Amino acid sequence: MTLAFRCLSLSISRNPLRRCVRPLGVVLAGISLAGLAHAQSGVTISGTVDIGVSKKTGSTMYLGTIGRSNLSFAGTEDLGGGLAATFKLNTRFELDTGEQENSDAQRPYWKAESTVGLKGGFGAVRLGRALTPLWELSWAYDAWYNNDRIASPQWLGFAPDYLSNPQTREYSRLNNGIFYDSPKWNGFSAHVSAAVERDEDDLTRGVSGALRYEEGPFSAMLGVERNSQRDRVAFVGASYQFSQIKLMAGYSHVRLNRQGEIFGADWANWAAASNPTTKRSALTLSGVYTVGASSFKLGVGRDFQGATDGFNYIASTFAKAGTHYSGPITQVSLGYSYALSKRTSLFADLSRAQWKFTDDQGRRSAMGYAVGMTHSF
């Protein structure tokens, strides 16, 4: 029984809210208790806590989040006639310190999502802040779900140098947006997002769309997106489940706008590189073999142009090489996880990245490893 329904049942008794005010205040402070008790069909509290020890070439040992740690509140209200109201509030944090997740971006407290909307036979509409369709769906085509900063090929190479929200330097989310997810038709579904507001430095409003097919063991998607600086990205991904083995592949292609903020000194600074390309492309291949409680992962990623100063696997600079970028990067990763239960797993990762030009520390490759634990609730 959800807490909302428990409070509803108490409403017919003497002192109806005394026994549920305290837990509701802890869980959803600031939300009207009477409204929650009588209007919500259900409220779900969920999340993930993830922590591990990791190290990369040239860095010290690190204890902290390897993937993501988050806390989410989501709810629905049955409005009748097949229509429902929805909301979601999702934040991310550092488990080792309890602080909000570290980032160089100007991200809000509810950085993962803060939306309210309606859903029904027409699909679902949300308003607020959330992942764009291209980013929300593409993680399914990486063995690490683009959620492992040591081993995930997508973490290194997905849509290189592209930002969905350039004004706040965010890779994947849209503020002040409207989001639509269609129903499924014979395995197909459509997903669209668009910015409603336009900031002072925006060249246009950001838009994103994706078409996905899921039927049986096969899944595929095609996504396209344009941000507020008129940078563009396209992504195609596919996966297939062969009994205990799942294979995944994805290719992303970015075209930066030379007059936009990302191409210039404010972000990636390709304008200062010896090869000032606006094209950025990457390929990822990965697989998972699951036997019993064990899962074995293998991944390969290729960034065909490479990263500018400060953006490769170990944030190398390339001033001495005279290029100010790495040249093509190849990453190979191995991973293992052991499920202690449906919600709790132990994991280990090992990864090696290699690039073309020698960095300012005399390196053309680097390694990283991690061991840790993750629990979902």
Q: pLDDT by residue (tens digit) across 276-310?
A: 999 999 999 999 999 999 999 999 999 999 999 99
The DSSP-derived string for 53-75 is EEEETTS--EEE-SS--EEEEEE
Which residue in this structure is represented by tokens 């029904």?
A: 120
How far is residue 66 from each of residues 3, 49, 171, 315, measured CA to CA in Å?
32, 10, 18, 17
How far is 3 from 9, CA to CA, in rounded Å? 10
What is this structure's pTM?
A: 0.87
227: left (phi over 0), alpha (psi -120 to 50) or beta: beta
Q: Which two tokens stand for residue 323?
A: 């290029």
**pLDDT tops 70 at residue 133:** yes
CB environment 261-285: b (16+ within 10 A), e (fewer)? bbbbeebbbbeebeebebebbbbbb
pLDDT tens for 305-348 read 999 999 999 999 999 999 999 999 999 999 999 999 999 999 99
| pLDDT given for residue 4 in this prediction | 40
Higher pLDDT: 250 or 13? It is 250
Q: What is the signed CA dihedral for 103, 104, 108, 109, rounded to 10 degrees?
A: 30
Residue 332 burial by Cβ neighbours in a 10 Å radius (0-12, 13-18, 19+): middle
How far is 39 from 37, CA to CA, in rounded Å? 6
CA 149 to chain centre: 12
Q: Which two tokens stand for residue 6?
A: 């428990």
Cβ-based neighbours of 220, under 8 Å, separated by 6 or more: 212, 213, 236, 237, 238, 239
What is the percent of the chain with per-residue pLDDT over 90, rounded to a whole number?
A: 82
206, 225 in Cβ contact below 8 A?
yes
| pLDDT given for residue 105 in this prediction | 63
Q: How many other C-beta atoms lie within 10 A of the C-beta of residue 201?
A: 11
Q: Which two tokens stand for residue 174?
A: 């849209």
pLDDT tens for 211-222 read 999 999 999 999
Task: Provide mean pLDDT across the span 22-50.
Answer: 62
Domain annotation for the chain: domains and CATH numbers: 1-40 (no CATH), 45-68+124-376 (2.40.160.10)
The H or E element that residue 260 is part of is none
Which residue in this structure is represented by tokens 């990245």?
A: 353
